[in-house]
Amino acid sequence: MTMKKLMEMRAKREDARLKAMSILDKAEKEDRFLTETEQAEIDKMETEIRAWDESIKRAEKMMAMEPETNDEEMVEVKPTPAKNDEKRFKTFGEQLMAAYRASMPGGQVDLRLTTRAASGLNETNPSDGGFLVQQDFVSELLKRTYETGILASRVKKIPISTNANGLKINAVDEDSRANGSRFGGVQTYWESEADELSGSKPKFRQIELSLKKLTGLCYATDELLQDSTALEAVIKQAFAEEFGFKIDDAILSGSGTGEPLGILNSNALVTVAKEASQTEKLTVENLIKMWNRLWSRSRANAVWYINQEIEPYLYTLKIGDTPVYVPAGGLSEKPYGTLFGRPVIPLEQCSAAGEIGDIVLCDTTQYLLIDKGGVQATSSIHVRFLYDENVFRFIYRCDGQPIWNKALTPYKGSSTVSPYVTLAKRN
């Protein structure tokens, strides 16, 4: 006896029950007693239901008596690529609807939902609403996620294999170039003829990333569940925007515990102090000093990320009589939208004006993000049952951290530099 066969028996039992209920509902709506034909049909269904109950009970008893299988001895079952379109869902909405129907008590299970999860993901029973999103739909979902994310679309992203749960890579371990050492300990020398050659070797450290689980919920009304096309459109938008938002938030300020390590919590972050007598939220001197502490090689890629509350202060800044941010023609013309030639992008995840992290100058190409590339989903009718809503839960696994682990003292000069620079608290 297999779980698949048991689920088929339960589905047939539920079909009989639903047929009987439809007859009773019809008579109730028409405010009448059952006809002889209807009564006979219900009696037939009741007999069939009792027969299925006995069969299901026996099947469950036999399955319970089967010996337990040692997980270590189980042969891994990998997803089998579909040989034709008949074994694949044609649309993401079609797959969501199949998952919804499978989550119903005694619901029919579409065999296309029975693909087991790849190694490293929790395996779920499709009859309980659990399924792996079809790979072509996954690619589109994640593409929209990273397009929606402002920071996520700019980081260095590395996909890992389905059998891996993390990644270890070597990176340069460097905090000072004052002694002539660069790139993790490598030194070169100008040698005269017959001089003894000097040697050096790079110093490396290990970046270790382990996948974290990002979970999202999306609520769908019963009315929405009647239209697979609309359901697909709503879920795609909700998934992409919410997951993109949360990944951006983690890249900027994640704690590193149960989520990626954010730039603002990195030991490589350079925090520029406010001016001694500063009472304003933002000054020209603040911006100049932030730009000065940015690693020179990051100047081509860096972006100013600001809380939208910072914008009014930018418009008032001047060097002499020259506006820093507003064109000479005034507000009637398009703002420059740049500082030192680099874009200024409002970011909802930035801190409130005056707090550390309200304005961040950073090169996100110096941030590493890994992901497994798969999405696991579950459907449930129970969470929002009283509101006639079904819940879809999506799970995506990723991790990230800044590539730099410390700020760098340059070859000549005493002020450290970094690809990640922010302004200290001014409140």
pLDDT at position 106, please? Answer: 67
375 within some domain: yes
Q: How far is CA 23 from the centre of its chain?
A: 47
Domain membership of residue 301 (yes or no) is: yes
Q: Do the beta carbons of residue 207 and residue 368 sit within 8 Å?
A: yes
**Residue whose tokens read 């930018």:** 314
Residue 241 lies in a domain: yes
Q: Is residue 289 part of a domain?
A: yes
DSSP summary character for residue 115: P
Q: Is 348 exposed, middle or buried (0-12, 13-18, 19+ CB in 10 A)?
A: exposed
* pLDDT score for 401: 96
* H helices present in 91-134, as ranges: 92-103
Looking at the structure, tell me whether residues 242 and 345 fall in a common domain: yes
Half-sphere exposure of 211 (CA within 13 A, CB side): 23
Residue 218 tokens read as 């999306």
Same domain for 147 and 46? no
Q: Does 295 reside within a domain? A: yes
DSSP SS3 for 52: helix
Instruction: Indicate whether 125 belongs to any domain.
Output: yes
Q: Please say which residue of 9, 44, 59 terminates a domain.
A: 59
Per-residue confidence (pLDDT) for residue 183, from 0 to 100: 65
* Count of C-beta atoms within a 10 Å radius of residue 42: 17
Residue 261 CB-half CA count within 13 A: 18
Residue 334 lies inside a defined structural domain of this protein: yes
Shared domain for 208 and 305, answered yes or no, is yes
Residues 168, 19: one domain? no
Dist. CA 266–CA 270, nearest whole Å: 9
Let me know whether 51 and 103 are in one domain. Answer: no
pLDDT at 390: 78
Question: Rounded to an integer, what distance in angstroms lies between the CA atom of residue 281 and that of residue 168?
Answer: 41
Query: Are 14 and 120 members of one domain?
Result: no
Q: Please tell me what DSSP assigns to residue 189.
A: -
258 and 395 share a domain? Answer: yes
pLDDT, residue 425, reads 95
User: Residues 356, 110: contact at Cβ < 8 Å?
Assistant: no
Query: End-to-end alpha-carbon separation of the chain, Å?
Result: 69
- pLDDT on residue 57: 79
Q: Which two tokens stand for residue 337?
A: 């939208």
Shared domain for 115 and 180, answered yes or no, is yes
Q: Are residues 258 and 310 in the same domain?
A: yes
Q: Are 185 and 202 in contact (CB under 8 A)?
A: yes
pLDDT digits (tens, 9 = 90+) for 25-51: 787 777 777 788 888 888 888 888 888
In the predicted model, residues of the chain with pLDDT beneath 70 are 1-4, 63-87, 105-108, 114-130, 179-185, 187, 193-202, 328-329, 335-336, 381-388
Alpha carbon distance 176, 421 (integer Å): 17
Structural domain containing residue 9: 1-59
169 and 273 co-located in one domain: yes
Report yes or no: 142 and 371 within 8 Å, Cβ to Cβ: yes
| 427 vs 420: CA distance, rounded Å | 22
Q: Domain count for the chain, please give it.
A: 2
| Whole-number Å distance between alpha carbons of 297 and 300 | 7
Could you say which DSSP state residue 336 is in?
Answer: -
pLDDT reported for residue 69: 44
Q: What's the pTM value of the predicted model, to 2 decimals?
A: 0.70
Q: Give the rounded distance of the alpha carbon of 324 from its chain centre.
A: 37
Mark out the alpha helices in 264-379 (DSSP H runs): 284-292, 311-316
Residues 42 and 120 in one domain: no
Q: Are residues 33 and 125 in the same domain?
A: no
Whole-angstrom CA distances from 367 to 112, 144, 172, 373, 419 are: 38, 20, 14, 18, 9
Largest CA distance in the chain: 115
User: Is 67 within the bounds of a domain?
Assistant: no
d(CA 130, CA 18): 24
